[in-house]
Amino acid sequence: MLFSSAVFLWIFLPVVIAGNLLFEKRFSNLFLLLASLFFYAWGEPVLIVLIIFVIIWSYFIGLCIEKCNNKKIALFIGVSGDLLLLGYYKYAGFLVMSINQATGASFNVPEIALPIGISFYTFQAISYIVDVYRGKVKATKDPLPVAVYISFFPQLIAGPIVKYSDVESRLHERKMTAEGFATGFRRFIYGLGKKVLIANVLAKCADAVFDHGAANVGMLPAWMGALAYTFQIYYDFSGYSDMALGLGCMFGFKLPENFNYPYLSKSITEFWQRWHITLGAWFREYVYIPLGGNRKGKGRTYVNLWIVFFLSGLWHGADFTFLLWGMYHGALSFVERMGLKKLLDKSKVLSRLLCFIAVSIGWVMFRAKNAAEGVSMIAAMFTPAAGMKLWELGDMKTAAVALCAVSGCGILQTLLPEKLTKWYRESLLEVIVCGGILFFCLAALAMEEYNPFIYYQF
């Protein structure tokens, strides 16, 4: 079930909001848990067993860590269990296929359905177990808070990745206020607008290029397709994150921000501080720092960074395209650390432009059907050749949406005076704008069935 679907907007969300208001506080968590499990089961009823298993596993491992004498063994068993589950469902087929390609063997490649959101909820489960081990949080004797934390539907299938300590107090005591609901609903509408009115339109342009094939697109259309996907994935994912944060606020939770205008970054290092912030923070806290971070010399720092970028690529999907994308960002990060960043810092405009171009090229590999096609498309971007006509990529509506996409990725927000922004937030104009966005989103969803979501597969 997508946030931008009619079933969610017209039925599920109103029922959950009404139910959460009607039930007493002591039953609120139970109601949210049942609603979240129903939300998850809507798309794949059978695989709901997995998330229930992760909940029970995390709860008992947390208690075991707190009570047993050898906490390290309990930690190892707990984390290994979650990783094995993730590894089997997400990477088993890719591993067998890679072995076949490398050795010439002919093992049967298992066709395993990928559970929605498994990368997100297993990472949250691992963070709970590790934080209990570190003493940052106490293992709760009541399984309900852990169950709601892992399965909470706003951030279940696309994040943000939340640590238990971020929401622990709200799980035990929270209030739904009119102000919080209004703030959350406004954030949800802006996110819905990003997804439906911008990302969905640009998706058609990007698909037209990538489906046409690198050999047939031509240089300019290849760049247009790459840029269309660059903005599509930002508005698609950040829009979904905005909706998640808005829903959390509506139900009395404060979820962490996941984006901070990443395309304004002056370096790849800064980009990863602004893009998918919670994933970067997770890898930093649970992988990079435990490996030694930057405390053991430059050589070890580069190795640790390489591991993080490799795992980040692998986390996104079981395909060489994602691995190459992660290693590409790792290589750019190394070059910056070796001195390029100091040169780029001398010009804010040039550094932002080069960083944006580098990120856009990386997204081509991320979007490609396979690694060979990704390399060919990148080559097409730098090879003058005839191909698709520009009018095949879209119409005036696409051009207008692209202009809005460029303006709204941080440029307009940076240029507007703070006083004007504050006035807008407190004025009737924002109410009218939000009403207009909601109306056009509902109209678009009613008229069109094309409603993809990129991070749904992760």
Q: Is the peptide bond before 14 cis (omega within 30 degrees of 0)?
A: no
Q: Give the separation between CA 313 and CA 329, rounded to whole angstroms.
A: 9
For residue 96, give the DSSP letter: H
For residue 112, give the DSSP letter: -
Q: Which amino acid is at 367?
A: R
**Residues 6 or more apart from 391 whose CB is under 8 A from it?**
none
Q: Give the separation between CA 119 and CA 285, rounded to whole angstroms.
A: 17
Instruction: Please indicate whether residue 276 is annotated as part of the active site.
Output: no
Q: Give the separation between CA 183 and CA 213, rounded to whole angstroms.
A: 44
Q: Give the separation between CA 251 and CA 298, rounded to whole angstroms.
A: 45
| Candidate list 172, 212, 276, 316, residue with the active-site label | 316
CB 165 within 8 A of CB 45: no
CB 40 within 8 A of CB 50: no
Q: 346: exposed, middle or buried (C-beta count within 10 Å: 0-12, 13-18, 19+)? A: exposed
Q: Give the separation between CA 61 and CA 362, rounded to whole angstroms.
A: 39
Cβ burial 388-419 (10 Å sphere, 16+ → b, else e): beeeebbeeebeebbebbeebbbeeeeeeeee
Q: Please give the positions annotated as active site.
A: 316
